[in-house]
């Protein structure tokens, strides 16, 4: 079995490495020559735990190229794993998906299965099919092909494990021939008794958005509950724990925080809301989750400013910039909103993040004069009036609170992930504020 993967971002690269580990010959293609050159030198362009090691291990079964013709000609199945960034109107921008489909059609030399792994709105599979058909007509050939939707559910930071041991594999396809090829590709998972769901393309495309939007709703729900808890003297962590004891609810994704970020939830919630609007439906629950998330991010800075009375000329130590731990990704990270708001109100920022220091500088290019990037958490809190924990890196869970207090000028601690909430000493050392701890 030989497969091609177009797009070497998080999804494409991780999928390629894991498939190669499963014994498949993989060709990873990208139009970005710099990226391919790096990969051919053994460098990994993204930060994902375990990926570098896995790519080294499967080195003789994986190739990296910018040659799409070679990729298509030599692959039985071709996965499209390119980016689908958010367009200005909130919809998913499908330019790269359609470009990939065009290249596939142009270079096809026989029967192929074209697998959509990028997160794409319902109906994209059909459009990919039309584009390929048109390319084949242009070449005046009549090769048979199938389009399959096989959405990816991996989480950043846990991408390898999520791909090696997924909760489920969703395959939307219209032909038995394609179904058999997909089963063959995922043979290892089939043998491991991973649940498989075979359905039509439109349903598979919808599943991905439905799952992500539901998780986003869950987070916004607990975040709004946290705001109420603060007002009425309740504890959101206890509320979430008790809610999670109901098997119908489950305890996962009920951690209150500064709002969800990342490359998926913000983009996917807006995209499915847009798809519904285009189909004359307004998804009120998802709209609510999006708006509650914006509000949550705003509320964090508001709370800090109101408790400290003013942040003007105050030094704030910010710990954690990435949207979650174990990643360098800052896309839609709540840290961006919080830092911008604090700087706007006159604060000086000192910050440290174990993953995203390099990413942060260009994001804050217009306000970098107010930000000091520090070598660790202790340098970031030195002479600070307040420390704000935005991302729950383990390093911050384990930080020495006594030492932190001694280094600071004043003793405000805003723990936006409640990582120290259960430590009694934190209340003695700091003016401590968690999220939803009334």
Bridge partners for 319 per DSSP: 352, 389
CB of 335 to ligand UDX, least distance (A): 10
Residue whose CB is less far from ligand UDX, 112 or 297:
297
260 binds ligand UDX (CB under 6 A): yes
Total length of the chain: 438
Active site residue ranges:
264
Please pick, from the candidates 22, 96, 145, 265, the single residue that binds ligand UDX as defined by CB under 6 A.
265
264 binds ligand UDX (CB under 6 A): yes
User: Closest Cα to residue 408, out of 378, 375, 373?
Assistant: 378
Residue whose CB is less far from ligand UDX, 9 or 262:
262
Please pick, from the candidates 12, 257, 320, 436, the single residue that binds ligand UDX as defined by CB under 6 A.
257
Q: Which of the ranges 126-134, 147-155, 193-201, 375-383 carries the binding residues for ligand UDX, by CB under 6 A?
A: 147-155
Is there a contact between 311 and 345 (Cβ–Cβ < 8 Å)?
Answer: yes
Secondary structure class of 393 (helix, strand, coil): coil
297 binds ligand UDX (CB under 6 A): no
154 binds ligand UDX (CB under 6 A): yes
CB of 139 to ligand UDX, least distance (A): 36
Q: Which of the ranges 149-157, 186-194, 349-357, 364-372 carries the binding residues for ligand UDX, by CB under 6 A?
A: 149-157
86 binds ligand UDX (CB under 6 A): no
CA pseudo-torsion sign 9, 293, 255, 345 = positive
Is there a contact between 327 and 261 (Cβ–Cβ < 8 Å)?
Answer: no
User: Closest Cα to residue 173, out of 130, 203, 210?
Assistant: 203
Bridge partners for 79 per DSSP: 5, 115
CB of 221 to ligand UDX, least distance (A): 10
Is there a contact between 266 and 296 (Cβ–Cβ < 8 Å)?
Answer: no
Give 42-49 contacts, CB < 8 A, sequence gap 24+. Answer: 44/13, 45/8, 45/13, 46/9, 46/10, 46/13, 46/328, 47/327, 47/328, 47/355, 48/10, 48/13, 48/14, 48/156, 48/157, 48/159, 48/160, 48/327, 49/157, 49/158, 49/160, 49/326
208 to 237: interface string for ligand UDX, x by CB under 6 A: ----x--x---x------------------
Q: How many CB atoms lie within 10 A of CB 282?
A: 9
Residue 395, token pair as written in the block? 């390093």
Q: How many CB atoms lie within 10 A of CB 129?
A: 18
Interatomic CA distance for residues 21 and 402, integer angstroms: 46
359 binds ligand UDX (CB under 6 A): no
Q: How many CB atoms lie within 10 A of CB 110?
A: 10
Q: Report phi then psi at 171, rounded to 5.
A: -130, 115
Q: Which of the ranges 46-54, 68-76, 146-154, 405-413 carries the binding residues for ligand UDX, by CB under 6 A?
A: 146-154
Q: Which of the ranges 77-85, 87-95, 141-149, 262-270 carries the binding residues for ligand UDX, by CB under 6 A?
A: 262-270
Residue whose CB is less far from ligand UDX, 132 or 160:
160
Angle at 411 between CA 408 and CA 414, to 5 degrees: 110
State which residue has the least CB distance to ligand UDX.
Answer: 264
Residue whose CB is less far from ligand UDX, 158 or 183:
158
Please pick, from the candidates 267, 324, 350, 437, the single residue that binds ligand UDX as defined by CB under 6 A.
324
Residue whose CB is less far from ligand UDX, 207 or 254:
254
CB of 151 to ligand UDX, least distance (A): 8
What are the start-end ranges of the E strands in 69-184?
Answer: 77-80, 112-116, 145-149, 169-172
Please pick, from the candidates 70, 98, 153, 378, the single residue that binds ligand UDX as defined by CB under 6 A.
153
Residue whose CB is less far from ligand UDX, 364 or 393:
393
254 binds ligand UDX (CB under 6 A): yes
Residue whose CB is less far from ligand UDX, 168 or 403:
168
Site of interaction with ligand UDX (CB under 6 A): 152-156, 212, 215, 219, 253-255, 257, 260-262, 264-265, 323-324
């Amino acid at each position: 079995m030989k497969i091609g993967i177009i797009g070497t971002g998080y999804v494409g690269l991780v999928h390629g490495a894991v498939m190669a580990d499963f014994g498949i010959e993989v060709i990873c293609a990208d139009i970005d020559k710099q990226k391919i050159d790096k990969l051919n030198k053994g460098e990994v362009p993204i930060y994902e735990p375990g990926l570098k090691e896995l790519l080294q291990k499967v080195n003789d079964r994986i190739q990296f190229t910018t040659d799409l013709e070679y990729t298509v000609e030599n692959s039985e199945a071709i996965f499209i794993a390119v980016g689908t960034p958010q367009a200005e109107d909130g919809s998913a921008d499908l330019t790269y998906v359609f470009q990939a489909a065009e290249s596939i059609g142009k270079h096809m030399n026989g029967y192929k299965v074209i697998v959509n792994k990028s997160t794409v709105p319902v109906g994209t599979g059909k459009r990919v099919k039309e584009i390929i058909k048109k390319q084949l007509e242009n070449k005046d050939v009549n090769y048979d092909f199938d389009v399959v939707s096989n959405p990816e559910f991996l989480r950043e930071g846990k991408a390898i494990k999520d791909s090696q041991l997924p909760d489920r594999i969703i395959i939307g396809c219209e032909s038995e021939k394609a179904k058999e090829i997909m089963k063959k590709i995922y043979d290892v998972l089939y043998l491991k008794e991973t649940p498989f769901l075979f359905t039509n393309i439109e349903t598979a495309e919808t599943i991905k958005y439905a799952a992500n939007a539901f998780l986003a709703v869950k987070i916004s729900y607990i975040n709004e509950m946290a705001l109420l808890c603060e007002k009425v003297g309740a504890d959101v962590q206890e509320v979430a724990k008790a809610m999670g004891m109901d098997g119908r609810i489950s305890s996962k994704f009920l951690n209150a925080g500064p709002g969800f970020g990342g490359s998926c939830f913000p983009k996917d919630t807006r995209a499915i809301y847009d798809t519904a609007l285009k189909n004359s439906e307004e998804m009120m629950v998802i709209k609510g989750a999006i708006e509650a998330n914006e509000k949550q991010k705003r509320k964090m800075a508001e709370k800090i400013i109101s408790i400290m009375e003013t942040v003007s000329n105050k030094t704030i130590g910010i710990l954690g910039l990435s949207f979650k731990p174990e990643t360098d990704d800052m896309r839609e990270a709540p840290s961006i909103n919080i830092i911008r708001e604090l700087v706007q109100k006159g604060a000086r920022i000192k910050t440290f993040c174990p993953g995203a220091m390099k990413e942060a500088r260009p994001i804050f290019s217009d306000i970098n004069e107010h930000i000091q990037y520090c070598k660790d958490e202790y340098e970031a809190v030195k002479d600070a009036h307040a420390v704000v924990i935005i991302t729950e890196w383990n390093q911050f869970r384990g930080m020495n609170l006594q030492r932190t207090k001694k280094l600071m000028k004043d003793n405000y601690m805003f723990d936006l992930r409640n990582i120290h909430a259960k430590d009694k000493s934190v209340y003695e050392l700091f003016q401590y504020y968690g999220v939803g701890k009334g």
